Structure 1
Amino acid sequence: MISDIDRKSLQIEYYIPEDTILTADEHLLEEVLRNLVMNAVKFSHPNGKIEIHFTEDETFQYIKVKDYGIGISIRFQSNLFEPRRNGFSLGTFGEKGFGLGLSLSREIVQAHFGHISVESEENMGSSFTVALPSNKKTVFLILKDKEKESNFTNKMIEKKLLPISCDSYEKIPELLDRISPKCIFVQDKQDNLELNTFVTKHKSNILYAYIPILVMDTNNVPIHPRSIETDWFFDEFLTKMQAIT
């Protein structure tokens, strides 16, 4: 990729704050950025520039890769992330490609509970934006009462929280490798062995033990064993959670 950048005499400009922190699988995120930058290089004119921006709001962190190349027609944008449907395309120096990198990038971003979008105009360039859940507002949910899950989730969204539902305790460690949530909210029976095992393992993992667990029983009554969390967390956070249940 470096040789292609040099060959086209492209300038790469970064607009990323020094204190930026992203929680994602390092290697997979590198793959996404590599694919997006390679795509921008492919369709950029010689002596052009590529911009990489980072912004964030209350629920998402955004990475945008912008080029000023040949752009993408409206006709092709709808199938851009479908490798079998987006067609064969040539770059400004005749580079070949079928869009497999974009398809893979979308799969990776979706695995992080994010999304990827494109804005483009022919002969004006393209902007690809990756949106990843913000660490500050993400909450993992394990709800045994599935009938209440949709309503509960909607209320959390109204409170500017980003809920991510998990089917089982076994999936939590895998998700924690990608996303660092504000907390883990669990609704389960108090004497559930699976729950107790999960809490014990979580608190013994030095990488994730700082992430608090809020445990409620199926009647939304707090379960407050000392091994799960400290008083300050329940005093400060439980009040907010009860207000939206």
Structure 2
Amino acid sequence: MTDFDGLTAVVTGGASGIGAAVAKTLTERGAKVAVLDVNPGDDGIRCDVSDDTEVRAAIAAVVERFGGVDVLVNNAGIGAQGDVAGNDDAEWHRVLDVNVVGMARVTRAALPHLKNSGCAAVVNTCSIAAWQGLPNRVLYSASKGAVLALTLAMATDHLDDGIRINCVCPGTADTPWVGRLLDAAPDPEKERAALAARQPMGKLVTADEVAHAIAYLASPLSGSTTGTALAVDGGMYGLRPRPRVPGAE
């Protein structure tokens, strides 16, 4: 597919996991892709989304290099574990600053350039945690619930600007971050099996599957899609299958 020919895409958190898969997919479909990350590698642009000065400098560097911004994928984010008492105030502020305010910072900096595009699209990486009560994920879930609300509000605000704004809500994905969580578990293989089993399709989501969903939302071919939260979660949001019983037909 060449639906992104001539378009410039910015992907935050684009050096690994879902972000790297998004950058690869958009490049294959014709986009000029700017990878923004705290560890950007050789061809990316350094950007800490919690630092407004760094964010503005990164977007300015993208515009200088490519001439504008047509697609913004707000993917940068960090995780958190624990119940409501599991994190102190500093950690609450840190996670919300990156996961929520970080998206606002990058979008704010890119907004004048998006307004000049004829194919402007923003896609935010949300999570199934925005609408499912997951155990020991209170802070992370709160941040992703805010991302869902942020997406809908921004989509409304920028209808007249011609900027489509959507979000993708992955289930548990097989990414480096999840890998680190599994490595820290007492029995990593048992924990991996439990995470896969809670998704009705019985497997973890892949980074490529999320990337293709993001590409769908960002593509000019989806010109009537805005204010949408697209679940990529193996059926976790909407399906309630009967429990699988070993040995049962």
Q: Which structure features the higher share of strand residues?
A: 1
Q: Which structure features the higher share of helix residues?
A: 2
The higher-RCO structure (CA 8 Å, 6+ apart) is: 2
Query: TM-score, normalised to structure 1's length?
Result: 0.28
Query: TM-score, normalised to structure 2's length?
Result: 0.28
